[in-house]
Structure 1
Amino acid sequence: MQTNSAVQKSLIDRVLALLVILNIALLLCYIWVAYKSEFHSDDAVANLLAQEIFETGQLFPRHWNYVNGDLWVFFTHSWIVPLLGIFPNGFELRAATSVIGAGLILYGTWLVCAMIDMSYRARLLTLALVAGGISTNMASNLFGQLAYGTMYYMLCFMLYSAWRFFGSKGRARVGWALGSAAVVLLEAWANPQRAAVYYLLPLLAASAALYALRWHADRSIKRPHGGAICALVAVALAAMGVGVVLYGQAMGQLHSVQPAGISPRWLGYDGMVRNAGVAIRGLLSLLGGLPQADALVVTSAGVVAALRFLSAIVLLALLPWAVLRNLRANHPARLFVAVASLASIALTLFVFVTTSIIDISIPEAPIRYVVPGLMGLLLILVYVLVDDRGAGVPQRICGALAIAVLVLTSPVSLSLTEIPNRLAQGELDATNNKMRLVRFLASQKLHYGYGNFWVANQTTVLSEGTTKIRPVRYVDGLPEPMRHLSSNRWYEAAAWNGPSILLLGADETEQVNWPELAKRTGQVPRILMFEGWKIAVFDHNIARSFPSWKMQQPSGPVEYPSVANTPHIIGRLTKDPMGLKASKNEAGILRFGPYVRLSAGRYRASFTLAAHGSGVRQFGHVDVVADNRVFASAGIERSGDNVVTVPFVLEKSTSAVEFRVISTGAGELTVYNVQLANDNEN
């Protein structure tokens, strides 16, 4: 006969199992339905790159412009490619592959939970927490965009494979070693720096901790197995070396746009303090602890926001405590996971706080870098709260209540509250302006055109490729390809034979020089209006009117003035004369782009600037970058108006060359113009 205690435990397990099932069901609805209104052009890149791979038959398409030195080897697009011959390349296909990714996230979580000897109840609670998304920000990164979800489940598989390697013999040991090495190799092939931070260094740190301590408890690595640790380290380093070689070979044949912020700079003390505050804010956001600004407090939603805010603070306070308990505990698997996760989050936070790599204008976004490490630490925390009987009772109670709040106020369920109303109206996309735009373009039989990045890729995928919009920006009032995560094939006249459009938002119409555009195209466009969109319709593909879109080298001096649409991260546009100006204490990328293609040869880039500030030794610097390389750089050291000229040499034809101006924030800095001179003609 079962005791009351046993009955209560059984009931708790059943409730947790039902909660897991409920949250997984809601997660599927989130991926398929709710996330459609959040789906944006960055998400759509996975579909478009998969389409490029499918059409060209190349794992790394030669015409594709990668970004940030990242090769997409095994990533969010990998599940889409094999399905393109069967299903249309739209949001539903992306959602289906996101379900695969979500399954791998939950499976990787379960494996690590088993690895650290979590109880069945603790595992169920962990799955309910993860499937619930934890927060809107976390759910988007894990399951919506899936990018950092992919990195998290790859980390889980690497740690699990490494741990199984220690406890296996013969062929099984070889298999587990290869499994762990495969993760390191694939990630190093994609981006060696990222592989080192997220996989290799955490694995080495965890292995070093095991080797130094060599616990002697149940399931421990006994002293004779110290050689196994060394063997794993050797395999991981070899995999990293192979990945780096493959990466170098691939990058030598491909194009990689180098965006602003790719070359981080050390910050001063004030900048580090500012970024530390941004990091804390971001961590609260990932844990669901940031209430919506200006929302009412004395409402049901306000009460939930208060509970989540307190829960996030409690969890942030308890995470170091939980890690410390596992570093002291006599359990090597928990030590292994704790050290690896701690190394991952520590490395990313160090770079986050001390360098200029983040864009603080969107503070909740760059904190995504810590997602894999933070998720690993949360698994350790749940174990301590549920299974560690020796832990402090007050901490366990507070932590359990905080976890319960996050599980029971799951963001994937809260985001679905509008679905019944939308279903009742018979229109799931009633509130989605982009879907209405897609249907309007289809009704007008407009199937190809150009628009800004944030509408182009999104529209292409939402239309399942029936209306293809290619990213452009406007320079001197005329459209120019934006080759950021795009294919050069899209901008050739042969890409489309028929009418084309320019899709303009309300704030873009003034950027167009309409008389010059009509002169270039030989046609005054027909104008359509739809819900704030201005659609200029041409009777031909306007790429025919812009031969320079075909990546030809410019001849003679070329001017790149600072205008309203010049790419920049900081600063504001000034007039008389027109320029981009960064104020004192405003550090970051003042100007970047224009992603021009140049053939091999000698060039000079001249930056017309104005710098002001008393006693300033370094206002900033200028550089020329392309293909993940800095070809030339010079400091801005003189106060007043000046021209900084940097010569540079390209050994081969290079796409997406950028001319950047970076401000230290020590004084005022204004950039008026960049001139490119072709020394090959002299």
Structure 2
Amino acid sequence: MIRRFVTPQQTGLGENTFLKRIISFLILAAGLLALTVVLYYIIWPSRVVITSDSTDTLFWAQASYESGQLISREYSYAAILPFGGNLLMLVFLPFFGVSMTTQILGMCLFAGIFFTAAVFFFRSLGYSWRWTSAAVFLLTLNLSASLKLREMFWGHVIYYSLGMLFLLFTLGLVNRANDARETGQVKRRLNLLLILFALVALAATNGFQVLALYALPVLAALFLPLYLNGERRLPDPANRGSWSLFTGIFLSIAAGLLLRWLLLGTKTDIYAGAYSSFVAMEAWQVNAETMALGWFKLLGVDIVLNDPFAGLKTLVNLVRLLYSLVLILLPIHFLLRIRSITDEKLKLLGWSHLFVAALVSFLFITSKVSNAIWRLTPVVCTGSLFAAAYAFYLLKQPGAARIAKTILAVITAAALAAAGTIAALPVRTEENEAYQLTEALLEHDLHYGFADFWRANGVTMASDSQVIIRTVNINGEGIKPRAFQSQPSWYADQEGIAEYFILLSANEYANLQVSPDWNGIQEMLLDEFWINDYQVLVLSENPLAAD
């Protein structure tokens, strides 16, 4: 029997008192509160901040649905994730099409699965339902602290959120398999290992970016303790359990990558290839400075010149600043005390986090990954996961309860700050440019056109496909289809469309006027008007039909 730790005496709540019941209820309800906050964000505030980036998962699902293939041969993918969020969107796409309804339902389903994975993992640590609920609350709300974190986890399903989802399930299965081995439950362990290896293989079809966030950390966490233990040979019989897990996961990765190759052939994902290279060594110092500042920004710290020392905003910033430091300091404390830590599950999590932190930090400093602070997202997630688990561990240690409660107070305050931020977010979609463009284009009875990526797919989704805009490149060479989150058939003549349009910024309009395509466009021109800062050209023909 696996002991569910944290007794009333250990929490300091004493005997069965009214106060204890109230606090127990609040702790038990915390996980449901976090889920409610996240679902509220997805259903309402997320609409206000949608961009074309938010549409990735939905458009991948559309490509699969229309082609009848898991990976469409025609579509140009930013990222190819066969075992990803597109499968969730496919549940709703046949009923609601490319729409905000499909997007919201798909993301709500993903959130539900993510919460399930978090519960699955924390229960594998031996937590009671109360403390599982508390840990889920701390993890998921602290993953919602900033606009970028909310976009990464609840705006679309991309490498970061997928990697963390699979890490939670993988660690949960490894912990349970080890428990079954220790208690002699051979059949249960075999079943758990089969599920684990199947999951690892399927998730590996998403490629190296996802692998580096869920499978490689676990491999490192299994291997490093064996390697660093100088008292025992690597092939020692006592290491057999770890080696069997390591070998099984490694072979599952190989099987998954082979399956990916069979699915994709020579097809590549555009986005990952754009930053999969090193930068010059002279840029490393600047990248390190960018990473340090970006860490605090990603966790929601927002301090500008002349911000007062007193006030609610300053208090929230202080809490988030402290939480950012906690995520940095706790792993250091863990390493200093690692020889005295007997909780093997905590050490597995700790090594996994340290691997992710080291890998992401190295890539951020030395490669093109540094061009966006949200690439630090995996470290925030594994760090938040480890911080909650390590604080709970310290709560049980003699002489460490006071510091553990202080750490938990900081983590809880940061989670509450995130919930408060979400509650205060605007919900009026009129503030979003995609909805403004949709309304104006529908007023002119325009339903199919072309624009830069950032004004294309977002409008298509926001309008529930009433206005469809395809992404193009517009410069001094003219207007050309862009092979990014698109497919060639989108640029052909469309059935039932009598008038097409081009949506242009002032700079794009100036470039188009001096391009070789301008004379032909003038011959098709029926009307032109402005929407905010954008020029709209209404054409009698499709300007890209011959391309």
1:338–1:376 CA contact under 8 A, matched in 2: no
1:140–1:146 CA contact under 8 A, matched in 2: no
Between stretches 483-492 and 6-15, larger displacement belongs to 6-15
Helix, strand or coil: the match of 2:480? strand
1:87-126 counterparts in 2 under 5 A? 87-126=96-135
Between stretches 476-485 and 319-328, larger displacement belongs to 319-328
2:205 is aligned with 1:194? no
Deviation at 1:438, TM superposition (A): 0.9
Name the residue aligned to 2:74: 63
1:636-655 counterparts in 2 under 5 A? none
Deviation at 1:455, TM superposition (A): 1.1
Name the residue aligned to 1:637: none
Amino acid at match of 2:469: I
2:271 is aligned with 1:262? no
2:172 is aligned with 1:163? no
2:80–2:268 CA contact under 8 A, matched in 1: no
Shift of the 178–250 alpha-carbon distance from structure 1 to 2, 3 Å rule, reads same
Shift of the 413–253 alpha-carbon distance from structure 1 to 2, 3 Å rule, reads same
Aligned equivalents of 1:158 and 1:90: distance in 2? Answer: 33
2:163–2:214 CA contact under 8 A, matched in 1: no
2:84–2:206 CA contact under 8 A, matched in 1: no
1:541-580 counterparts in 2 under 5 A? 541-544=542-545, 547=546, 549=547
Deviation at 1:525, TM superposition (A): 4.3
Deviation at 1:514, TM superposition (A): 6.3
Shift of the 92–474 alpha-carbon distance from structure 1 to 2, 3 Å rule, reads same
2:324 is aligned with 1:312? yes
**Aligned match for 1:227, one of 222, 236, 240:** 240
2:171–2:349 CA contact under 8 A, matched in 1: yes
2:167–2:213 CA contact under 8 A, matched in 1: yes
Name the residue aligned to 1:350: 362
2:162–2:210 CA contact under 8 A, matched in 1: no
Name the residue aligned to 1:482: 482
Aligned equivalents of 1:275 and 1:47: distance in 2? Answer: 33
2:276–2:367 CA contact under 8 A, matched in 1: no
1:369-388 counterparts in 2 under 5 A? 369-385=378-394, 387-388=395-396
**Aligned match for 2:414, one of 406, 426, 431:** 406
Aligned equivalents of 1:256 and 1:201: distance in 2? Answer: 21
Helix, strand or coil: the match of 1:527? strand
Aligned equivalents of 1:238 and 1:495: distance in 2? Answer: 49
Helix, strand or coil: the match of 1:66? coil
Aligned equivalents of 1:514 and 1:441: distance in 2? Answer: 26
Name the residue aligned to 1:606: none
2:135–2:389 CA contact under 8 A, matched in 1: no
Name the residue aligned to 2:252: 239
Helix, strand or coil: the match of 1:357? helix
Deviation at 1:442, TM superposition (A): 2.0
Aligned equivalents of 2:186 and 2:323: distance in 1? Answer: 47
Aligned equivalents of 1:105 and 1:84: distance in 2? Answer: 21
Aligned equivalents of 1:104 and 1:22: distance in 2? Answer: 16
2:107–2:154 CA contact under 8 A, matched in 1: yes
Helix, strand or coil: the match of 1:542? coil
Aligned equivalents of 1:30 and 1:13: distance in 2? Answer: 26
Aligned equivalents of 1:380 and 1:400: distance in 2? Answer: 10
Shift of the 300–474 alpha-carbon distance from structure 1 to 2, 3 Å rule, reads same
Amino acid at match of 1:435: Y
Helix, strand or coil: the match of 1:105? helix
Where structure 2 has 5 or more consecutive residues not aligned to the other structure, the ranges are 1-8, 230-235
Deviation at 1:406, TM superposition (A): 0.7
- Structure possessing the higher radius of gyration over alpha carbons: 1
2:398 is aligned with 1:390? yes
Name the residue aligned to 1:181: 197
How far does the alpha carbon of each residue in 1:380-419 deviate from its partner, in whole angstroms, 9 at most, with x for none? 333235x332363563243123112212212x43233255
Aligned equivalents of 2:382 and 2:102: distance in 1? Answer: 29
How far does the alpha carbon of each residue in 1:341-385 deviate from its partner, in whole angstroms, 9 at most, with x for none? 2212221212212333321xx4x3332243443343233333235
Name the residue aligned to 2:6: none
1:101–1:149 CA contact under 8 A, matched in 2: no
1:53–1:61 CA contact under 8 A, matched in 2: yes
Aligned-residue RMSD, C-alpha: 2.8
Aligned equivalents of 2:227 and 2:374: distance in 1? Answer: 37
Amino acid at match of 1:234: T
Aligned equivalents of 1:492 and 1:61: distance in 2? Answer: 18
Amino acid at match of 2:164: Y
Aligned equivalents of 1:516 and 1:128: distance in 2? Answer: 58
Deviation at 1:73, TM superposition (A): 0.8
Aligned equivalents of 1:56 and 1:261: distance in 2? Answer: 26
Aligned equivalents of 2:214 and 2:495: distance in 1? Answer: 40
Shift of the 370–418 alpha-carbon distance from structure 1 to 2, 3 Å rule, reads closer
Name the residue aligned to 2:445: 445
The normalised TM-score by structure 2 is: 0.86
1:326–1:334 CA contact under 8 A, matched in 2: no
Name the residue aligned to 1:520: 520
Helix, strand or coil: the match of 1:535? strand
Amino acid at match of 1:254: K
Q: How many residues align?
A: 521
Name the residue aligned to 2:265: 252
Amino acid at match of 1:529: W
**Aligned match for 2:141, one of 132, 142, 160:** 132
Name the residue aligned to 1:321: 333
2:56–2:156 CA contact under 8 A, matched in 1: no
Name the residue aligned to 1:415: 422
Aligned equivalents of 2:29 and 2:296: distance in 1? Answer: 28
Bigger relative contact order, structure 1 or 2 (CA pairs below 8 A, ≥6 apart)? 2
Name the residue aligned to 2:433: 433
Shift of the 367–302 alpha-carbon distance from structure 1 to 2, 3 Å rule, reads same
Deviation at 1:71, TM superposition (A): 2.1
Shift of the 103–263 alpha-carbon distance from structure 1 to 2, 3 Å rule, reads closer
How far does the alpha carbon of each residue in 1:215-270 deviate from its partner, in whole angstroms, 9 at most, with x for none? xxxxxxxx8664333222222122122222222333325354367743412542x5
Name the residue aligned to 1:278: 290
Q: Which has the higher helix share?
A: 2
Amino acid at match of 1:542: P
How far does the alpha carbon of each residue in 1:490-524 deviate from its partner, in whole angstroms, 9 at most, with x for none? 12335774311101134432222268434224323
Shift of the 73–259 alpha-carbon distance from structure 1 to 2, 3 Å rule, reads closer
Aligned equivalents of 2:151 and 2:271: distance in 1? Answer: 25
Helix, strand or coil: the match of 2:524? coil
2:164–2:213 CA contact under 8 A, matched in 1: no
Shift of the 495–186 alpha-carbon distance from structure 1 to 2, 3 Å rule, reads farther
Shift of the 179–285 alpha-carbon distance from structure 1 to 2, 3 Å rule, reads farther
Helix, strand or coil: the match of 1:330? coil
1:282-293 counterparts in 2 under 5 A? 282-291=294-303
Amino acid at match of 1:401: A
Where structure 1 has 5 or more consecutive residues not aligned to the other structure, the ranges are 215-222, 423-427, 550-682
Between stretches 14-23 and 432-441, larger displacement belongs to 14-23
Helix, strand or coil: the match of 1:321? helix
Amino acid at match of 2:286: R
Aligned equivalents of 1:262 and 1:315: distance in 2? Answer: 27
